[in-house]
Structure 1
Amino acid sequence: MLKQKMRAIAFPFLNKITNLILKIWSRFSPSPLSPNPQHIFILRNNDLGDLLIITPLFAALKQYNPTVNITVGVGNWASSILHENPHIDHILPINAPWFNKGIPAPQQTLWHRLRYLSQSPEITALRQLKPDLGIDIFGSSWGAMLLLQAKISRRWGVAGYGGGEGAMEFCIPYHPDMQVGRSALRFAEALGATALPPCRPQLFLTAAEQEEGQTLWKGLGINKIKIVIGPGFDGDARYWGLANYQAIIAHFSQRQDLALVLVGGEGDRLQGSCFNPFPITNLMGQLSLRQTFALLAGADLVLCNSSMLMHAAAAFNVETLVLLGSAFRNPGQHDRQWGYQGNYRSLGGEQATVGEAIAQVESLLKGLKAP
């Protein structure tokens, strides 16, 4: 308790000091008047779902100004999300060691962050591109320092979240009740855009990828309702727990009209063995990210945690039931910030039960028919 109080006192103080330093630093990188930037760099070195939910911003910027050059800086773990996206001109590796799960926590220390800012060839590559506007979607002091190190003269960020305001020409205010994708679209509005795409992730599959997904489903469940399940792993309070997913799968696995498929990353492969007793196809750790997208594109229903899978399912308008772990004490808050309109339901928090989840799935299945 004492440590929490000390942090509550120290954080605002440190934030003020950091912003003062950034403001002084930014004085050496003046912002010229350029109302219509021709090259925009967008920093999103965070996790997979974080990138997916803000993809409508790229379309909004291109629709407003088709000639603008858009470079997106992402971690290597997320770059395939942007493949085939017609609204992006360049994907730049930015493996910045902060605010992501793509880099192990022991490699995100203060020393690692400062070394990245001072020595990374990725920042050198960004500087050589000479974008005239840089946008830190996350909104942090570290993102602001990256834009300053890259010598980007115009810098935009988020006020009231992770800092960095002192270095910015413009900030959108952080709003915890605004959907994250809609919040990102405010950057396009600030440039003058009025025609905005829906707040739904955008994924673009090649014809070959679509065919691969269709082929996978043909081998798994012809004339069946196709259900993708992403249980994740135990030990994270944001996730619903493997035992709960086992109970749901035990209930539905005997139905002959359903094709049940488990998916997950390489780290989930070992935990997938707990589902072996059930007649279910286990592809955990066996599909690439793009192959997972292709499988989702052909699915009828997705059951998952608040994770990448939730956002990817939204991209294809697949009916989705999101099962929230105990960390989400206010599911409504989660949905306002991370959820979607249409083909989306959530259940969870501390009060969720397996019986309630089964009832929700039964309700959704009534609206679905096998081909």
Structure 2
Amino acid sequence: MKSPLPVNPEHIAILRLSALGDVCNLVPTVRALQRQWPNARITWIIGKGEYSLLAGLSGVEFIVYDKATGLAGMRALWRELSATRFDVLLHMQQAIRASILSLGLKAEVRIGYDKARAKDAQHWFTQYQLAPHPRAHVLESFMDFARLLGVEDDTLEWNMPVPGIAYEEALSLSGEAPYLVINPCSSARIGNKRNWSVEGYASVVEHAWIHHGLKSVLTGGGNPREREMGDQIEALCQPGSVINAIGGTSLKGVLALIDQARAVIAPDTGPVHMANAMRTPTLGLYASNDPNRTGPYLWRDFVVNAYPDAVRAYLHKRVEEVSWGQRVRHPDAMELISAEHVIAKLDSLLADSVPQPPDHSSETGSAHES
């Protein structure tokens, strides 16, 4: 017989290791849990890179698991938590690695996804499953965990921690003039087909510079593909219109850059969700993934959405005929996005959103609150 759901949990565990965008989308669920049970301890088991983004999140104890450490790292984590028993474990990672890790955690109740949303047989590792929520956005799927526990106030709140040194880093890169952040590349995982064209980005940079007086700051990781793409974009742009910071920032520095930016442009990758979390106007570029599921939640009206066209062109189906979350892994999918469409969306986004002064009200730096 399974234990009942806790009415007043004293210690809540969250298991979500990756990725950057996903952990940003999970923060409002953490805030909802904190509002409901302000005295509860919350322990979040998280990935190494993701921790570097969220370090300092108020009211949260982090336990870092580096997936590169494999089973040895899991055993070390189990030893660290051997004397800890959670009232409830929210198993939010749909991966067999995370499910194996969960086996070594002591919890009265384990909650996971419903069968329609679960992957890698995750429902075998949990006692309770979420109620069905067809065609839910990732952020809503996370919030469903709080709702199952009885949380009714699902107001979106992030209050992301950004230390002062990160703003100093951002200022040293961007200068005082207003700017866009463009993060041109998604992650370098095999089969990831989310990158738009160099020429397209260069056209947007030129338009922002000439028509809006905005320089563009390019951000991204330091892998060779991202550096090469940044160099190619910069080579096509007018001098002074672009700052190539790819590979030259910390994650907190990117968060600070995003916080101070006039707008952010990116495909479906971490910075598009970081921008959403900071409430910075966000223009997402989507063709490989459905923005209704993974788009920047607050700015979905400004997404350039070529996903239906990609499904039709490369899967030979209508969106309604493919499974929720189906990806279009064709190398030409993102080419269905035109520079003219992106520029029109950017003009609309800038006209619709009024610049806000920076808010330095949090104890660790600046934060936007709902």
Same fold flag (TM > 0.5): yes
1:204 aligns with 2:189: no
Alignment correspondent of 2:346: 361
Alignment correspondent of 2:216: 260
Which of 34, 37, 52 matches 2:24?
52
TM-score, length of structure 2 as denominator length: 0.76
Name the aligned partner's letter for residue 339 of structure 1: P
1:248 aligns with 2:189: no
Please tell me whether the aligned partners of residues 24 and 274 of structure 2 are also in contact (alpha carbons under 8 angstroms): yes
SS in 2 for 1:290: helix
1:307 aligns with 2:263: no
**Using the alignment, how far apart are the partners of 1:71 and 1:135 within structure 2?**
10
**Structure 2 unaligned residues grouped into runs of 5+:** 311-335, 358-370
Q: 1:47 to 1:184 in 2, by over 3 A?
A: same
1:145 aligns with 2:100: yes
Instruction: Output aligned runs, 1:265-276, within 5 Å.
Output: 265-267=221-223, 268-276=226-234
**Using the alignment, how far apart are the partners of 2:167 and 2:155 within structure 1?**
23
- Select the structure of larger CA radius of gyration: 1
Give deviations 1:184-210, integer Å, cap 9, x for gaps.
122222222222221x65412234434
Name the aligned partner's letter for residue 81 of structure 1: L
Name the aligned partner's letter for residue 239 of structure 1: N
1:335 aligns with 2:320: no
Give deviations 1:179-235, integer Å, cap 9, x for gaps.
22222122222222222221x654122344345545644x252xx4x2111101688
1:319 aligns with 2:281: yes
- How far residue 87 of structure 1 moved from its aligned partner, in angstroms, is 2.9
**Using the alignment, how far apart are the partners of 2:349 and 2:10 within structure 1?**
46
SS in 2 for 1:147: helix
1:231 aligns with 2:195: no
Q: Which moved more, 1:181-190 or 1:40-49?
A: 181-190
Please tell me whether the aligned partners of residues 29 and 142 of structure 2 are also in contact (alpha carbons under 8 angstroms): yes
Q: 1:236 to 1:91 in 2, by over 3 A?
A: same
**Using the alignment, how far apart are the partners of 2:4 and 2:257 within structure 1?**
47
Which of 118, 126, 136 matches 1:178?
136
TM-score, length of structure 1 as denominator length: 0.75
The RMSD of aligned alpha carbons is 2.9
**Structure 1 unaligned residues grouped into runs of 5+:** 1-26, 97-102
Instruction: Output aligned runs, 1:37-186, within 5 Å.
Output: 37-88=9-60, 90-96=61-67, 115=71, 120-160=75-115, 161-162=118-119, 163-173=121-131, 175-186=133-144
Please tell me whether the aligned partners of residues 239 and 324 of structure 1 are also in contact (alpha carbons under 8 angstroms): no
Name the aligned partner's letter for residue 228 of structure 1: V
**Using the alignment, how far apart are the partners of 1:65 and 1:358 within structure 2?**
45
Please tell me whether the aligned partners of residues 141 and 165 of structure 1 are also in contact (alpha carbons under 8 angstroms): no
**Using the alignment, how far apart are the partners of 1:164 and 1:343 within structure 2?**
29
**Using the alignment, how far apart are the partners of 1:67 and 1:369 within structure 2?**
37
**Using the alignment, how far apart are the partners of 1:244 and 1:179 within structure 2?**
28
- How far residue 66 of structure 1 moved from its aligned partner, in angstroms, is 1.1
Q: 1:147 to 1:63 in 2, by over 3 A?
A: same
SS in 2 for 1:92: strand
Q: 1:368 to 1:32 in 2, by over 3 A?
A: closer
Instruction: Output aligned runs, 1:9-20, within 5 Å.
Output: none
**Using the alignment, how far apart are the partners of 1:205 and 1:228 within structure 2?**
17
Q: 1:337 to 1:324 in 2, by over 3 A?
A: closer
SS in 2 for 1:341: helix
Alignment correspondent of 2:255: 293
Q: 1:142 to 1:265 in 2, by over 3 A?
A: closer
- How far residue 318 of structure 1 moved from its aligned partner, in angstroms, is 1.3
Instruction: Give the percent of matched residue pairs that are identical in Structure 1 and Structure 2.
Output: 25
Please tell me whether the aligned partners of residues 178 and 337 of structure 1 are also in contact (alpha carbons under 8 angstroms): no
SS in 2 for 1:276: helix
